[in-house]
Amino acid sequence: MSVQPEKLIIATRASRLALWQAEFVQAKLQALYPACRVELLTMTTRGDQILDRTLSKVGGKGLFVKELETALLDGRADLAVHSLKDVPMDLGSPFQLAVVMDRADPRDAFVSNKYEKLADLPEGAVVGTSSLRRESQIRANFPHLVVKPLRGNLDTRLGKLDKGEYDAIILAAAGLQRLGLQERIRSCLSVQDSLPAAGQGALGIEILESRPDLLAALQPLSCPETLACVMAERAVSSFLGGSCQVPLAAHAVINGTTLDIKAFVALPDGTKVLRAQRSGPVEQAEQLGLDVAKELHQAGADKILATLLNN
């Protein structure tokens, strides 16, 4: 390969999961470019600091990337590694999503010390989640359960469960698996029961648009299939103004040369859930996502969004 970087600095959040993700990318780059020094710049973001309120009330998932982007802008870092579901849909100039890596398990995981699955929880049992997307699906399918907010990093959330503050919590399966905590997963929710967030399970690498050299150097880490799926998913979310304030899900899979995408928009209490799906050629991934979003919009998603954003 013509591009041989001499030194690369990766900006990352300081949480254990974020560090795992950055170290994973660091190891991949070190293997690609043995002569390159790949270092980490660890940072604490606003999203990590504000733990007493839900993300939808304090500015959304973008709180997890702003400080990392500042490090890119002022030259302290060359690239930033994110859980793709935390990357804002309106990511624009001067930043770009350079790489989407091979996706891990996209499902939500059911974690409990007493029960095997959501259906086993008795009436009034308390389920913790930080996501309106998860909350709306739990409330729609299990209206007898009590859903309460759950913030903090992975270890903090598990600690709250172990102290008895919750009967069960819902987390991303990929995060638990990456940290070697798969034994905490009692069961995984099917994508039919809990449709994942756009980009869930995938890692994204963000750089500045002014670094075509870096864009070229990072391409061996890209997964074309995951990228196509994620483009479709993010198109849904982008068209519908997806944010932490909106219970919205979009999940795509590829079967041969066909991409299948499913999406939904809901009220947080689960009383109204709109669903749509499309199938088509993989090369039309983004258009398929837009078509699904438009179908949801025509079915009344605009009214749901207006209700939520005016609250």
- E strands present in 27-167: 37-43, 79-83, 95-100, 108-111, 126-129, 146-149
Catalytic-labelled residue, pool 86, 167, 193, 291: 86
Class of domain 7-103+202-222: alpha beta
Residue partners of 144: CB distance under 8 A and separation at least 6: 123, 124
CB 229 within 8 A of CB 103: yes
pLDDT given at position 225: 97
pLDDT band per the 50, 70, 90 thresholds, residue 296 = very high
Question: What's the whole-number mean pLDDT along residues 203-231?
Answer: 97
pLDDT band per the 50, 70, 90 thresholds, residue 2 = low
pLDDT tens, residue by residue, 130-166: 899 999 999 999 999 999 999 888 999 999 999 999 9
The pTM of the full predicted model, rounded to 2 decimals, is 0.89
Domain boundaries, the chain: 7-103+202-222, 108-188, 233-309
pLDDT band per the 50, 70, 90 thresholds, residue 309 = confident
The fourth-level CATH superfamily of domain 108-188 is Periplasmic binding protein-like II (3.40.190.10)
pLDDT given at position 58: 43
pLDDT tens, residue by residue, 17-35: 999 999 999 999 999 999 9
pLDDT tens, residue by residue, 38-87: 999 999 765 454 444 444 444 444 566 888 999 999 999 999 999 998 88
- Is the fold of 7-103+202-222 the same as that of 108-188? yes
DSSP H helices, the chain, are 16-32, 46-49, 55-58, 66-73, 132-141, 154-162, 173-178, 212-218, 224-239, 285-296, 302-309
Least confident of 25-29, 60-64, 118-122, 233-237: 60-64
Alpha-carbon separation of residue 72 from 26, 40, 96, 121, 155 (angstroms): 17, 13, 11, 46, 28
pLDDT given at position 92: 83
Q: With pLDDT > 90 as the criterion, what percentage of the chain qualifies?
A: 79
Q: Is 45 helix (H, G, I), strand (E, B) or coil?
A: coil
When the candidates are 3.40.50.12660, 3.30.160.40, 3.30.2270.10, 3.30.365.10, the CATH number that belongs to 233-309 is 3.30.160.40
CB 271 within 8 A of CB 308: no
pLDDT given at position 56: 47
**Which has the higher per-residue pLDDT, 61 or 276?**
276
pLDDT given at position 86: 85
Tell me if residue 86 is catalytic: yes
